[in-house]
Amino acid sequence: MEHPGDQAPSPRGFFRSWRRLYAAVLLTAFSAYVLLFVFSRIFAP
């Protein structure tokens, strides 16, 4: 049985393609690592 999501599974809104959404995930993850590094350096010098 075919589902609508099989053929046109793009996310809506700003993330018009899966590629953009994946890029946003990876960018957010990288930002989180940087923020944790800054947090570490501020409070645990």
Partner 1 sequence: MQPLDWIVVAAYFGLIITVGYWTGRGNRGLEDYFLARRSMPWYAMGLSVMATQASAITLVGTTGQAYVDGMRFIQIYFALPIAMVILCVTLVPLFYRARVFTAYEYLEQRCGPHTRSLTSLLFLFGRALSGAVVIYAPSVVLSVVFSLDETLTILIIGGFATIYTALGGMRAVMWVETWQMLIILLGILFCLGSVIWGLPEEVSLGEALRLAGSTGRLETLSFDTDPRQTYTVWTGLLGGLFLMLSYFGCDQSQVQRYLTGRSLRESRLSLIFNAFAKLPVQFVILLTGALLFVFYQFERPPVLFDPVTLAETRAAQPEAMAAMEARYETAFAERRTAALDYAEADGVSSEAALKERYVAADLAFQETRAEAVRTAAEVKGEPWSDTNHVFPTFVFTQLPPGVVGLILIAVLAAAMSTVESELSALSTASVVDFYRRFRNRFVRGPTSDRHDLIAGRIGILFWGTVATGAALYMGRLGSAVEAVNRVGSFFYGPILGAFVLAAVFPNRGARRAFPAVLCGVAAVWAADLVPRALGIEGVSYLYYNLIGTAVTVGAGLALGRVAGGDAREAGTR
Binding site for partner 1 (CB under 8 A): 3-6, 8-11, 18, 21-22, 25-26, 28-29, 32-33, 36-37, 39-40, 42-45
DSSP the chain: ---HHHH-----TT--SHHHHHHHHHHHHHHHHHHHHHHHHHH--
Angle at 1 between CA 22 and CA 10, to 5 degrees: 20
From the CB of 1, what's the least distance to partner 1, in Å?
A: 8
CB of 45 to partner 1, least distance (A): 7
**Least distance from partner 1 to the Cβ atom of residue 19, Å:** 10
